[in-house]
Amino acid sequence: MAEQVSYQGLNPLTLLERSAFVYPDKTAVIYNDRRYTYAQLHDRVRQLAGALWKVGVQRGDKVAFLVPNLPPMLEGHFGPLRLGAVLVALNTRLSPRELTYILNHSEAKVLVFDSELAPIVRAFKDDVPGIETYVQVVDVAPKAEDIPGLDYESFIASAPDEDHRVELDSELDTIAINYTSGTTGMPKGVEYHARGAYLAALGEILEMGMNWRSTYLWTLPMFHCNGWCFTWGVTAVAGTHVCLRRVDPEQVYRLIREEGVTNLCAAPTVLTSLYSSPMAKGQDLSGLTIGTAGAPPAPQVIRTMEGMSARILHLYGLTETYGPHTICAEQPSWDGLPTDERAVLKARQGVSFIMTEPGLRVVDEQMNNVPRDGQTMGEVVMRGNNVMSGYFKDPEGTAKVFQGGWFHSGDLAVWHPDGYIELRDRAKDVIISGGENISSQEVEKVIMEHPAVLEVSVIGVPDEQWGEVPKAFVVPHAGAEITGEEIVQFCRDRIAHFKCPKHVEFGELPKTATGKIQKFLLREKEWQGYEKRIH
């Protein structure tokens, strides 16, 4: 009995339940001309859970969502959870082939998708036999009548009146699986448990300074680490979610102004699009706090956004850490520094979030801490409540990244004397383009399928809009004729377009005596003369 009195499992669903109880009439969700209160959001989530139960979804079943940043995608973070089911939020930019793999691997039973994405669903529908129910969110495109199933509003309206809420083990039950390509070329399913999601959500709203007066604009994809867990975090403080189907600078500025937006999260490339837009002239972003991650922001990005009076918080993490694990926590002494010097300090990755301390180290190959000298590089390792349970159906992969009792990020960093870390390289050659991780090995494997290609190496090269983009260095077979355009199209037919090389160069590859391609030489050549965006 004493244990029951002094211990309560943590479940993000209770964050919605509390907000609906305390702030029933407060605006919870805004999308175009639609507005839901917290009481209405709670009712819609109950309806979604009931409708899923009606089609056979039970505890542990997987429910996939292929939906942009719309109210149903937010509701998807709570409806399946009410049944003890598992949310699989899908990247809307993936190709049919990639989505087929994820849906089959996750054993998804239901797919909720936006009707605009119906052509993609048609392309893989026959290859995902496990999907028993299709539900269409009808927003900007009409319902695809050739795909069976109800539209979303009719689906949730079909729910029975009963309550089907299931209690979870907050540390053992998986509530979400987020797929990341990592660097192996095969997507990995990262499992989140209820306790981790709950604490990650609370940590983020504490670090971002949010409360019931906060209004959050959804410029960050909700499918990306469950919106870095802000789907649950904003709800926890009864903040207002402002949904945005596509990131467009004109719409972003309009919503900031009209809805009184106080917080948003975005990759540096989104910030670049904001300040480079003609709409940026004369914008006053005072009162707006921006969390940026996905790729380290160049100091210039921070300077420019702060020049518009926004407050920038630099975050760092991985899918395996529920999104952000560190924050470049601002120090009072930085206020008096010159703008350029302060921006350089704020471009570092920083220190652990509140709920992960002490969950961050930079170590050598023997798992010893590297000196805090700002020069010695080591691997960033993490542990804590917001580290994944493991990779779904991949115990070997899980054991590999958990060696020594810490999660191995594969990122190389230095540790500064003040305890802040700063990334210096990606040990696994991941390309971060516009906040999206791209596996160079995955792209290489696709290009190697082309009959005219003998060898290939793919690296990230500088790009003004996206920070960096893939470039393929190709060695063709003797006598073979192939163009860069053909290589690009070959990739676009097989993988998501954002992963495809934007540039192709033909010629010999630099190699070691043992035949290993020296990617660092390719990088040095491509980044010469640029302020290297280290990540």
pLDDT tens-digit series, residues 162-182: 888 999 999 999 999 999 864
Domain boundary among 206, 222, 238: 206
Domain containing 74 — which CATH number? 3.40.50.980
328 residue type, one letter: C
Domain that holds residue 464: 430-527
Q: What is the CATH number of the domain that holds 516?
A: 3.30.300.30
DSSP character at residue 305: H
Do 400 and 476 fall within a single domain?
no
Is residue 348 included in any domain, yes or no?
yes
Same-domain check for residues 416 and 450: no
Question: What is d(CA 102, CA 188) in angstroms, rounded to the nearest whole number?
Answer: 9
* Residue in this structure with the two tokens 């971060």, named with its chain if needed: 432
Same domain, 44 and 191: yes
- Asked if the structure places residue 396 within a domain, the reply is yes
Give the pLDDT of residue 534. 38
What is the per-residue pLDDT for 182?
A: 44
Q: Is residue 167 part of a domain?
A: yes
Q: How many domains does the chain have?
A: 3
Contacts of 452 (CB under 8 A, 6+ apart): 476, 477, 480, 481, 482
The answer on 521 and 384 residing in a single domain is: no
pLDDT confidence of residue 300:
75
pLDDT at residue 53 in the model: 98
Same-domain status, 488 and 398? no
Q: At what angle do helices 484-492 and 440-448 cross, to 10 degrees?
A: 110
Contacts of 103 (CB under 8 A, 6+ apart): 64, 88, 90, 111, 124, 128, 130, 131
User: Do residues 321 and 357 share a domain?
Assistant: yes
Quick one: 413 and 455 in the same domain? no
State which of 373, 400, 426 marks the end of a domain. 426
Q: Which two tokens stand for residue 499?
A: 């992963």
CA distances from 92 to 111, 188, 389, 496 (A): 13, 17, 25, 10
In a domain, 172, yes or no: yes
Q: What is the pTM of this model?
A: 0.85
Q: Residue type for 230, please?
A: F
d(CA 300, CA 284): 18
CA dihedral 22, 23, 25, 31 (to 10 degrees): -140
In 299-354, beta strands by DSSP E: 311-318, 323-327, 351-352
Which regions of the chain are under pLDDT 50?
1, 182-184, 512-514, 533-535
pLDDT at 440: 81
- Are residues 184 and 261 located together in one domain of the fold? no
Shared domain check, 323 and 181: no
- CB contact set of 171 (below 8 Å; sequence gap of 6+): 9, 193, 194, 195
Average pLDDT of the chain to the nearest whole number: 92
Tokens of 505: 């160069």
Judge whether 324 and 228 are in contact, CB under 8 Å. Answer: yes
